[in-house]
Amino acid sequence: MNSLDEISTQSGKLAELVKNLRQLFSSRNYEFHSFSLHKACHEILDIVEPTLQSKRITLTQRIDTDPMVHGDAIQIQQVLINVFNNAIDAIATDPEGLNGPREIVLSIGQNEQNAVLRIEDSGTGIEPSLLPSIFELYKTTKQGGLGVGLLA
């Protein structure tokens, strides 16, 4: 019964994510408001956690503070989903963990003026020749990729 409840919960979250993706690509009407950065990340982690578990990737969270940020929470979550998926894909290129631990580290904090969100992974990194184009729309190195991971 617990498994069915979890499936139902995850299905609802995924349906909301699909709705948000449709909104992302169909409209440029942003809804700016204050929101908890930690809560926005937590909602995304609920979605990616099963993938992390199935791929034997450890998630480490370093939450120093819970800054309130002003922006479009849906846009931030779309970026987070894409960055987490990129991190998972980067780690997946080393399935046996030969390059060290299979880990993603999420850090949230703030300095004097800004919220600070950092996502680090133990993957192989971005090929240096690709760095100049990583913010270009529709630029991807993945088969079937959309190329919007760092743009949303």
Question: At 41, phi and psi to the nearest 5?
Answer: -65, -45
Taking only the tens place, the pLDDT of each residue in 44-69 is 998 899 999 998 999 999 999 999 99
The predicted model scores a pTM of 0.75
Distance CA 17, CA 23 (A): 10
Residues 6+ apart with CB under 8 A from 69: 34, 35, 37, 76, 115
Which string of DSSP letters, residue by residue, matches 57-112? -EEEEEES---EEEE-HHHHHHHHHHHHHHHHHHHHTSTT-TTS--EEEEEEEE-S
Domains of the chain: 30-133 (3.30.565.10)
